[in-house]
């Protein structure tokens, strides 16, 4: 059923007529109403003009600033004179929120810190926004600390609490998430944030059907909420309902094309459907929205591998590590890629770097972490064994014994190392024994026979002048021994 906006259009015409006939009636608040009507009619340019006119009449008109956050097209636009004129302190709050919206969360945190130092210490709004930025930076432990402080200062604040539930979801804090859901269901039952909190709770319990129901309620309360559209897309993915998930992610992009989550969700969906060309496009769009997020770079690298664009994949994995690898997989994937291309020297460097960075970092390793460490140790042990560097290969082979997946490989490598050590130790002894068993070295002029010899040896050859005046004969095998016995017989 198509949405009927005829009444909104009629209201918009009446407001415009009132503005032309009696412009003195229009203060900051009436301009705000006009702008909201234009937003509902998707008249973005006209809405932006009305909001700007509203704040020009009252620089402290925060509702207008708040709506402009979602209407600006870039950070640079937010710094033009129309917004920053007068240097009002409210503009600093607006600028920080714009930085956060365009995924520049580190800059946003710095801005909020400055505001906190300039007369707004322990302000719940600032702490809440800082926690939201930390959540988007995947710093969930710090985000939880900030959110908990906000809850103590202002227990009825519902803004950004859906992100609080997101951090609790990531940390699998089921009891805390249940408490949060029950609390806000009592006090803010009809807020879209509450519906998202409850949906996260049901999703953590694996009840995806109930999660979808509450996310649908959230979207009825706030149809233009990109975060809710993204969450419902995730839930449809869990239910293997790919067409519905695709539609939800596209709605998220339509609501806010600068939010990477809708693009990233579509990339994952087409990845699952084994359509790498499509997933490449959507991952690229997600990367444009958030260029310093390693997850997009790793996803791009994996798609490039499927498309056999190996150099591009290597660049993506390397950049993912440099910008800060959230999941700790970029180096491992890069090392495997070099090994697959038979570039073992580069693979060894990458694997050693992985062990230096992650080998002792985690307090509790996951199974994937242990498998990655085992793979690195196994490769490096074989690599240095092949190079003949037994001293370097030995500790890596010994570490292989700690993991079930590489225990047998470690034993085989250590056995080979032991055999090579044995050969190297036996070889000098053999050479010494051979030198002790050699016959006496005799030196004679080239044309003179040994004394007491009645007949010359048939094997004795008279050297030429160019070859020298003497020949050294060393007997070290059975044939030489027989020749020596014939010499003694001739005496």
- For 123, how many CA atoms within 13 A lie in the half-sphere containing its CB? 15
Q: Residue 481: is its pLDDT beyond 50?
A: no
223 φ, ψ (degrees, to nearest 5) = -65, -20
CB neighbourhood size of 486 (10 A): 12
pLDDT, one tens digit per residue, over 372-407 is: 999 999 999 999 989 888 889 899 999 899 888 888
Q: Residue 177: is its pLDDT beyond 90?
A: yes
Mean pLDDT of the chain: 84
> Domain extents for the chain?
444-490
CA geometry: angle 378, 381, 385, nearest 5 deg: 140
Q: Residue 337: is its pLDDT beyond 90?
A: yes
User: What pLDDT score was predicted for residue 163?
Assistant: 96
Q: Residue 435: is its pLDDT beyond 80?
A: no
DSSP codes joined into one string, 68-119: HHTT-S-TTGGGSHHHHGGG-HHHHHHHHHHHHHTT-HHHHHHHHHHHHHTT
What pTM, to 2 d.p., does this model score?
A: 0.78
C-alpha distance across the termini of the chain, in Å: 124
Distance CA 330, CA 339 (A): 14
User: What pLDDT score was predicted for residue 464?
Assistant: 44
| In contact, 289 and 295? CB cutoff 8 Å | no
Supply 425's token pair.
């130790």
């Amino acid at each position: 059923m198509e949405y009927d906006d005829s009444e909104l259009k009629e209201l918009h015409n009446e407001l415009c007529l009132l503005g032309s006939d009696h412009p003195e009636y229009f203060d900051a608040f009436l301009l705000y109403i006009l702008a909201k009507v234009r937003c509902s009619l998707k008249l973005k340019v006209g809405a932006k003009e009305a909001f700007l006119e509203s704040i020009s009449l009252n620089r402290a008109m925060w509702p207008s600033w708040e709506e402009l956050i979602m209407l600006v097209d870039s950070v640079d636009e937010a710094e033009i004179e129309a917004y920053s004129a007068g240097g009002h302190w409210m503009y600093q709050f607006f600028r920080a929120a714009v930085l956060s919206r365009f995924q520049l969360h580190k800059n946003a945190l710095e801005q909020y810190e400055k505001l906190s130092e300039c007369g707004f210490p322990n302000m719940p709004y600032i702490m809440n926004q800082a926690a939201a930025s930390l959540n988007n930076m995947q710093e969930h432990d710090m985000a939880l600390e900030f959110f908990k402080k906000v809850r103590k200062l202002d227990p009825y604040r519902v803004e950004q609490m859906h992100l609080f539930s997101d951090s609790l979801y990531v940390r699998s804090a089921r009891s805390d998430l249940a408490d949060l859901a029950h609390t806000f269901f009592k006090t803010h039952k009809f807020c879209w944030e509450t519906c998202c909190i409850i949906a996260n709770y049901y999703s953590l319990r694996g009840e995806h059907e109930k999660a979808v129901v509450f996310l649908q309620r959230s979207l009825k309360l706030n149809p233009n909420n990109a975060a809710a559209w993204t969450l419902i897309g995730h839930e449809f993915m869990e239910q293997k309902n790919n067409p519905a998930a695709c539609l939800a992610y596209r709605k998220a992009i339509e609501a806010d094309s600068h939010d990477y989550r809708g693009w990233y969700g579509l990339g994952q969906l087409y990845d699952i459907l084994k359509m790498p060309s499509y997933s490449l496009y959507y991952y690229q769009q997600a990367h444009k929205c958030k260029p310093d997020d390693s997850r997009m770079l790793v996803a791009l690298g994996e798609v490039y591998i499927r498309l056999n664009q190996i150099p591009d994949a290597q660049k993506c994995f390397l950049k993912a590590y440099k910008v800060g690898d959230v999941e700790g997989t970029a180096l491992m994937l890069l090392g495997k890629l070099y090994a697959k291309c038979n570039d073992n020297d580069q693979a060894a460097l990458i694997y050693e770097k992985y062990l230096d960075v992650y080998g002792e970092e985690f307090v509790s390793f996951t199974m994937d972490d242990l498998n990655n460490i085992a793979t690195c140790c196994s490769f490096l042990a074989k690599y240095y064994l092949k190079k003949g560097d037994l001293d370097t290969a030995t500790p890596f082979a010994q570490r292989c014994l700690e993991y079930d997946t590489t225990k047998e490989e470690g034993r085989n490598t250590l056995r080979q190392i032991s055999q090579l050590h044995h050969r190297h130790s036996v070889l000098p002894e053999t050479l010494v024994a051979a030198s002790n068993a050699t016959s006496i070295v005799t030196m004679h002029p080239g044309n003179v026979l040994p004394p007491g010899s009645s007949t010359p040896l048939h094997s004795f050859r008279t050297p030429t002048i160019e070859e020298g005046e003497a020949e050294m004969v060393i007997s070290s095998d059975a044939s030489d021994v027989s020749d020596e016995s014939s010499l003694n017989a001739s005496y």
